[in-house]
């Protein structure tokens, strides 16, 4: 049985079958029971397969015969249906042809009937309009009239074309005016019962219940007969409003307030003085404060019930009052120029500045009262002519204040002068610098309220101009202060600050404040906005240049373009530009917030930039140079760098003055016979007498200057002085003089026990600082052992490279190999024995 169809089975299949059978039969030849089981299983499968084949051979022919018969029958039926369809189609065509005249006649009659029905509906609509109008004439009930008016408005929205639309629109407008006049009169009567406008503030006595019910009903009716959009007339005050005009109830509520405003603040009344804008601004705030709660509690809920989603009663009421103030402010600012030319106002600029301050104060208090930033009043200040004048007045008074502060006899004094117990007072900050920083901060507080970043950027440019003017004035003062220096300057402590140190402190303080401000959100936002705006304008310019060639080729076509099409295109372009500028502003805000978050994530002690406390932890900062420093200065660009340069020039001049006497009196110290000093025990050594006087005078001047400079500047000055002294003594004494053992001991004592401690920062040991590196390295060479010194000198003579490396091993890093060789040659114990005359000449 295993050999069935052997030719169809490959060797691999045979192996698999044999392997499977061997596994099932097993390896025991005496136990063949499993073989019988396999045989029985295969026999049963064979029988089942043969049975299935037999059944299929019997049933399939019968089913195929039945299916073929049904198919033939269906085919015959289809043919019959096709024949009948052709016959019916022919009958239908014959019928249509026969009845075509009748159908045409019927269609004409139905068309005439339909037209008559439309005419009837058209006439009935006119009859319905007249009927609604007649009912409105006959009724005296306000609610019924409002409902009928609502039907008219529905018909007005249904019919939008033809004479009927004009007819129903005229009726709607007519009845709207009638209802508005009637309901407004009733509304005003109710407002009188409510004692509107309130004079006792928001805590007025509650009105009777029936009066409030009548008020609510009339408010609802006024909402329901709201003016159609085509009836809204734009008046002058809406030029300063935000969005559309107020709803009808709010208009009626504003009416008596507008009358009072015009009565008191226009015309020739005393309260309408143009030099007192605070009167009408304060009154506007008072009215908003006294009435907005009533509007919020009694008008807005009715609009919410009527589902009037676009009604914001409180905002519309406040905007209406603000528009009055804005309109009056605009006229007042325009009158300043004309009245100034007539001599009616003594100081026009002072009056203008006062009006600006009052307007900004009004805006701040308005935001506090309403909780919303409503910029309609600020828009008056940002109109082109007014804004340019505002900038000019700011600059005029800022320069006058700057000159006044610098001309004062107290400009050099510290801010904390005279306040002995002031904790943390910046005693070194000159009053003039503090006044100038306050001036810049005041200007910032004013223009920071402006909504448009472009306007804020113009004020920033004004600030930068003032910083430059401040730097120029400080430069002039520093030149005068340097010329006024004399021999006794900074030799004794005085009660007042010297102009030179005051200029240095002023430049340092201003620079520190500018760097601090550059990292604030306000200036970061302006910085990124300016960068984004410059990129935007460059892109716009590039797009205009790329499109100019294509537009020039189509000039002939543009001549035929209608004018209204040109205006539409321009408007759309301006709209796209406005959208782009808004995107620029939003991107600048995002970048500024990201930068502020990044800076806050770095652990920095921000007190180092605090101008109100002593700057004791500031690292020594260099003048701004390069792109990184410019980026650090942010929006102030090169201003901090220029102030740092001025500060460093002042420190250099101060250092030159302090060292002038020191260098002159150090000649005796240089002439000292370093080659012939006796060897003295180290404990018996003291400072050289020829160094004591110059060093004490230098330290006295440094101490006086340190009391008048900022701690950071004192550190810079001390380091600068130490560097100059280090180089001067090194060049004038170390490289020029011969040293024996006694001279080396004395010079080393002078350097390590006197000069180094003298220039060490307060609170640090002399061993912890390296203020005089050349002198300290010179002492190492002079005190080097005889054998080491000879080997080092030989290396420097024969193998300079190896000698330089050896110097590094001895930790001598600030002296050049040739200079080191010269110092070693000036040691008397290393002098050439073959030529003693060269040494004896020194004696």
For every residue of 420-455, DSSP letters joined together read: TT-TT--TTSBHHHHHHHHHHHHHHHHHTT-S-HHH
What whole-number distance in Å separates Cα of residue 564 and Cα of residue 570?
A: 10
Write out the H or E segment, with its range, that includes residue 570.
Answer: helix 563-601
Contacts of 327 (CB under 8 A, 6+ apart): 236, 237, 239, 240
What whole-number distance in Å separates Cα of residue 515 and Cα of residue 643?
A: 11
Largest CA distance in the chain: 156
Q: Is 750 helix (H, G, I), strand (E, B) or coil?
A: helix
pLDDT at 659: 92
Whether the CB-CB separation of 620 and 716 falls below 8 Å is answered with yes
pLDDT at 298: 93
pLDDT at 616: 29
Closest by CA position to 36, among listed 47, 50, 26, 48 = 26
Cis peptide before 197 (omega within 30 of 0): yes
Closest by CA position to 201, among listed 315, 327, 290 = 290
pLDDT at 256: 94
What whole-number distance in Å separates Cα of residue 281 and Cα of residue 538?
A: 42
- As a three-state string, the secondary structure of 243-255 is CCCCCHHHHHHHH
DSSP secondary structure letter of residue 683: G
Low-confidence stretches of the chain (pLDDT < 70) are 1-9, 27-32, 56, 59, 201-204, 227-244, 339-344, 416-426, 493-496, 533-631, 684, 765-769, 832-843
Whether the CB-CB separation of 820 and 796 falls below 8 Å is answered with yes
- List phi, psi (to 5°) of 411: -65, -25
């Amino acid at each position: 049985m295993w050999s069935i169809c052997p030719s169809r089975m490959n060797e691999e299949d045979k192996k698999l079958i044999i392997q499977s059978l061997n596994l099932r039969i097993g390896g025991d030849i005496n136990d063949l029971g499993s073989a019988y089981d396999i045989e029985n299983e295969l026999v049963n499968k064979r029988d089942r397969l043969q049975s299935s084949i037999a059944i299929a051979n019997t049933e399939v022919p019968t089913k195929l015969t039945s299916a073929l018969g049904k198919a033939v029958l269906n085919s015959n039926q289809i043919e019959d249906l096709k024949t009948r369809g052709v016959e019916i189609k022919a009958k239908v065509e014959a019928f249509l042809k026969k009845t075509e005249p009748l159908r045409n006649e019927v269609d004409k009659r139905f068309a005439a009937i339909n037209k008559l029905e439309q005419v009837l509906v058209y006439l009935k609509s006119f009859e319905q309009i007249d009927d609604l109008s007649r009912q409105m004439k006959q009724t005296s009930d306000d609610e019924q009239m409002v409902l009928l008016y609502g039907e008219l408005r529905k018909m007005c929205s249904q019919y939008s074309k033809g004479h009927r639309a004009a007819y129903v629109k005229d009726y709607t407008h007519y009845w709207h005016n009638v209802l508005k006049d009637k309901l407004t009169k009733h509304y005003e009567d109710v407002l009188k019962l409510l004692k509107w406008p309130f004079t006792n503030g928001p805590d007025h006595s509650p009105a009777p219940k029936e009066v409030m019910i009548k008020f609510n009903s009339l408010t609802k009716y006024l909402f329901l007969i709201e003016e159609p959009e085509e009836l809204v007339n734009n008046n002058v005050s809406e030029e300063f409003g935000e969005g559309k005009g107020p709803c009808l109830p709010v208009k009626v509520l504003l009416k008596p307030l507008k009358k009072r405003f015009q009565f008191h603040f226009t015309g020739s009344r005393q309260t309408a003085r143009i030099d007192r804008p605070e009167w009408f601004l304060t009154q506007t705030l008072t009215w908003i404060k006294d009435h907005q709660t009533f509007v919020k509690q009694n008008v807005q809920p009715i609009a919410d019930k009527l589902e009037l989603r676009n009604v914001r009663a409180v905002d519309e009421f406040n905007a209406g009052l603000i528009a009055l103030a804005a309109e009056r402010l605009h006229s007042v600012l325009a009158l300043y120029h004309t009245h100034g030319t007539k001599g009616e106002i003594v100081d026009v600029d002072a009056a203008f500045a006062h009006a600006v301050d009052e307007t900004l104060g009004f805006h701040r208090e308005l935001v506090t009262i309403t909780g919303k930033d409503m910029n309609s009043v600020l828009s008056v200040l940002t109109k082109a002519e007014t804004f340019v004048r505002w900038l000019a007045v700011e600059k005029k008074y800022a320069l006058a204040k700057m000159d006044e502060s610098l001309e004062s006899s107290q400009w050099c004094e510290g801010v904390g002068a005279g306040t002995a117990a002031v904790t943390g007072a910046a005693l070194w900050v000159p009053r003039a610098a503090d006044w100038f920083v306050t001036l810049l901060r005041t200007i910032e507080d004013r223009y920071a309220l402006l909504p448009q970043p472009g306007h804020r950027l113009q004020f920033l440019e004004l600030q930068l101009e003032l910083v430059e003017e401040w730097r120029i004035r400080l430069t002039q003062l520093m030149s005068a202060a340097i010329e006024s220096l004399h021999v006794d300057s900074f030799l004794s402590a005085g009660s007042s600050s010297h102009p030179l140190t005051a200029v240095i402190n002023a430049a340092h303080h201003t620079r520190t404040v500018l760097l601090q401000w550059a990292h604030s959100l306000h200036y970061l936002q302006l910085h990124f906005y300016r960068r984004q705006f410059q990129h935007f304008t460059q892109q716009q310019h590039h797009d205009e240049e790329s499109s100019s060639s294509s537009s020039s080729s189509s000039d002939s076509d543009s001549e035929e373009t209608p004018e209204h099409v040109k205006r539409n295109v321009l408007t759309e372009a301006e709209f796209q530009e406005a959208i782009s500028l808004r995107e620029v502003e939003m991107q600048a805000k995002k970048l500024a917030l990201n930068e502020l978050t990044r800076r806050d994530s770095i652990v920095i002690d921000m007190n180092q930039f605090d101008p109100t406390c002593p700057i004791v932890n500031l690292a020594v900062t260099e003048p701004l140079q390069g792109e990184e420093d410019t980026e650090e200065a942010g929006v102030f660009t090169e201003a901090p760098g220029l102030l740092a340069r001025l500060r460093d020039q002042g420190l250099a001049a101060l250092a030159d003055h302090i060292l002038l006497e020191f260098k002159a009196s150090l000649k005796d110290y240089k002439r000292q016979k370093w080659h012939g000093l006796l060897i003295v025990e180290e404990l018996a050594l003291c400072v050289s007498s020829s160094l004591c006087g110059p060093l004490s005078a230098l330290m006295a001047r440094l101490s006086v200057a340190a009391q008048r400079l900022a701690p950071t500047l004192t550190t810079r000055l001390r380091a600068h002085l130490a560097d100059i002294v280090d180089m001067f003594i090194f060049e004038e004494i170390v490289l020029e003089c011969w040293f024996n053992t006694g001279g080396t001991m004395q010079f080393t004592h002078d350097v390590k026990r006197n000069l180094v401690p003298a220039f060490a920062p307060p609170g640090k040991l002399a061993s912890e600082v390296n203020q005089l590196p050349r002198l300290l390295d010179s002492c190492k060479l002079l005190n080097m052992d005889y054998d080491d010194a000879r080997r080092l000198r030989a290396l420097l003579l024969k193998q300079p490279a190896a000698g330089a490396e050896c110097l590094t091993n001895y930790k001598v890093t600030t002296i050049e190999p040739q200079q080191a060789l010269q110092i070693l040659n000036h040691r008397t114990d290393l002098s050439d024995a073959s030529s003693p005359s060269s040494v004896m000449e020194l004696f």
